[in-house]
Chain A
């Protein structure tokens, strides 16, 4: 037991992202309302983004913008940059892309939801299914 607690503490961000991912995935699968499902979808995607951002984090490092790059005349030619001083920028780049992709998907999905509502006058999946069976019979 004593070695599990440091494990949890050292990686609590990973644990958190797993919890959020589970919440999002559960909402996407189990919820009945289409907008709720979309909220779940976004929570799911944000959880993954949190995971990537956690990958990039480094202790004792600062944000990935080079300090004094153009300040102090031509300082930057002589300045040496240590990788350990700055947070890894690559996951941030990937996640910028992922955020934009998620908002694009959200836009299209909401457009579809509005279209579904125009047709069935409801956002509840079971009610839509009921209308469909009514139409058939």
Chain B
């Protein structure tokens, strides 16, 4: 196997090296890639869409159709994880710790459970949460991470960032919560059903904006036509459409990242895990 792999890899490498000779020099401003389409994007994007971040302008407007399917890929991945791993059977037994004394009680029967009280704490079998310092630091940090994520989404038009990055950062703040506390904390804060709705909501916003453009008489995702429905400045309407789309992307990505994490870390049981 190793030899076959080596052969295939060298063959691919050789072919690619052979082609390298004909590629334009690196960083050449007159290469076809830099002189055919991209001047239009660079010179006209600000005028046509009123968005200074060219990447966002191309991503959400000129190639908005691609981005919609990119969101759909993420959405599909979330659904796939749910479909593959979600396990509705319940795990046997549960552990409780008596906080003042540190005694651990093990219930082997699922039917019985400790009545809710402040003295007993539901405990994971495999994952023991980290200490106080970790918890406190993360507790202080998480709101700022989330604020930053919102900033990244909202400011995607003017600076690097946008829906994907913001969504991923927001999702990772929740994942951080799961790691520093435990998985149950996250699952209690944001229910599975809510996550499922959020997954669908984000891409629904994206597609919905596209369909609204069609209802307004334009082509799919032609944000310019939204000015006919909403009372907004026609010069700036494309930028607003992009913000709306980015929010949709952010919601879906955030929810899907948490769904994937929770399902992998708990093998789909949503009870305990890393």
> Interface of A with B (CB < 8 Å)?
7, 10-15, 18-19, 21-22, 25-26, 29-30, 54-61, 63-66, 69-70, 76, 81-86, 88-94, 96-97, 100-101, 103-105, 107-108, 110-112, 114-115, 118
Give the chain A neighbours of B33 by CB distance below 8 A.
55-56, 88, 90-91
Question: Within B1-58, which residues are at the interface with A (CB < 8 Å)?
Answer: 1-2, 4-6, 8-10, 12-13, 16-17, 20-21, 23, 25-29, 31, 33-35, 37-39, 41-43, 45-46, 52-55, 57-58
Asked, given contacts A26-B9, A97-B70, whether A58 binds B29 with beta carbons under 8 Å apart, the answer is yes
Sort chain B's interface into a size bin: 35 or more
Q: Which residue of A lies closest to B87 (CB)?
A: A118
CB distance from A53 to the nearest CB of B (A): 11
The 10 closest A-B CB pairs, nearest first, are A69-B52, A83-B39, A104-B77, A30-B5, A29-B5, A59-B27, A89-B54, A64-B54, A107-B260, A88-B38
The answer to whether A7 and B21 have CB atoms under 8 Å apart is yes
Binds A, one of B78-86, B101-109, B142-150, B189-197: B78-86
The answer to whether B264 and A114 have CB atoms under 8 Å apart is yes
Give the chain B neighbours of A58 by CB distance below 8 A.
27-29, 34
| Interface residue from B28, B37, B42 paired with A64 (Cβ < 8 Å) | B42
Q: How far is the CA of A89 from the CA of B61 in the complex (A)?
A: 13
The answer to whether B42 and A104 have CB atoms under 8 Å apart is no
CB distance from A41 to the nearest CB of B (A): 14
A selection of 6 A-B contacts at a CB cut-off of 8 Å is: A22-B13, A56-B38, A61-B29, A65-B160, A82-B43, A112-B84
B73 within 8 A of A: yes
Q: How far is the CA of A96 from the CA of B58 in the complex (A)?
A: 11
Give the chain B neighbours of A115 by CB distance below 8 A.
84-85
The answer to whether B25 and A10 have CB atoms under 8 Å apart is yes
Q: Which residue of B lies closest to A66 (CB)?
A: B52
CB distance from A25 to the nearest CB of B (A): 5
Interface of A is mostly: helix
* Besides A30-B6, A55-B33, A70-B52, 10 other A-B contacts (C-beta < 8 A): A21-B13, A25-B8, A30-B2, A56-B33, A57-B27, A65-B159, A81-B42, A93-B66, A94-B66, A107-B78
Give the chain B neighbours of A13 by CB distance below 8 A.
26
Q: How far is the CA of A61 from the CA of B28 in the complex (A)?
A: 11
Give the chain A neighbours of B78 by CB distance below 8 A.
107
B67 within 8 A of A: yes
B164 within 8 A of A: yes
Asked, given contacts A18-B17, A59-B29, A90-B58, whether A108 binds B63 with beta carbons under 8 Å apart, the answer is no
Give the chain B neighbours of A30 by CB distance below 8 A.
1-2, 5-6
Q: Which residue of B lies closest to A63 (CB)?
A: B160
| Interface residue from A10, A82, A97, A101 paired with B26 (Cβ < 8 Å) | A10
Asked, given contacts A89-B55, A104-B77, A118-B267, whether A29 binds B164 with beta carbons under 8 Å apart, the answer is no
Give the chain A neighbours of B1 by CB distance below 8 A.
29-30
Asked, given contacts A11-B25, A57-B26, whether A65 binds B12 with beta carbons under 8 Å apart, the answer is no
Q: How far is the CA of A18 from the CA of B39 in the complex (A)?
A: 28
CB distance from B45 to the nearest CB of A (A): 8
Q: How far is the CA of A7 from the CA of B20 in the complex (A)?
A: 9
